[in-house]
Amino acid sequence: MTANIARVRGIFAAIALGLLVAGCGYNTIPTLEERAKAQWSEVQNQYQRRADLIPNLVSTVQGYAKQEKDVLTAVVEARAKATQVRVDASQLTDPEKLKQFQDAQNQLSGALGRLLAISENYPDLKSNQNFLALQSQLEGTENRIAVSRRDYIEAVREFNTSLRTFPTMLWAWTAFRSSQPMATFAATEGSQTPPQVKF
């Protein structure tokens, strides 16, 4: 009888210890997943801020540089494409969707760079207070985009790591089977190659 009681106590102790060890980390996966989704919302917020600045920037440049119609059209088209590509929180596990989003944003960045470069040809535009204010806001927004992307990448790294490390991986295999690793931003093609400078 005493041996049976000891055996039952041993089984209960093992179960309790197993639950205690596995229990630490139960909330980790959903907490990190929600944090990554919130960071993604901030990324989208900053890209939307940039998209909202573009019409005013284009109209200001248009007033001074009407002959630069191709560049202005490219910016407007790139903005339209970038705002059409949407990735909501449920699609963050699809690397192809995130790549489409990133490609559209990169195309817009390139068009904006060309737009700002043409201002060098128009001294009146370069000194226009409206243009200078918009250029400053755009620069600040680009910095915010970089920070929000960095924060999103870190949040995704923490979430993806939690799915593969002990003890949270026990919960990933059982209670949170639907939680899949999230995709993150990749470096733009050619960004690792330093620019060639020719004189």
- Separation of first and last alpha carbons in the chain: 94
Confidence of residue 109 (pLDDT cuts 50, 70, 90): very high
Q: Exposed (0-12), middle (13-18) or buried (19+): which is 61, by Cβ within 10 Å?
A: buried
Whether residue 188 is predicted with pLDDT greater than 70 in this model: the reply is: no
pLDDT value at position 7? 82
Whether residue 113 is predicted with pLDDT greater than 60 in this model: the reply is: yes
DSSP string, 10-24: HHHHHHHHHHHHHHT
d(CA 32, CA 13): 31
CATH number of 2-173: 1.20.1440.20
DSSP letter, residue 185: -
Nearest-CA neighbor of 88 among 79, 77, 101, 75?
Answer: 101
> Do 19 and 132 touch, CB atoms closer than 8 A?
no
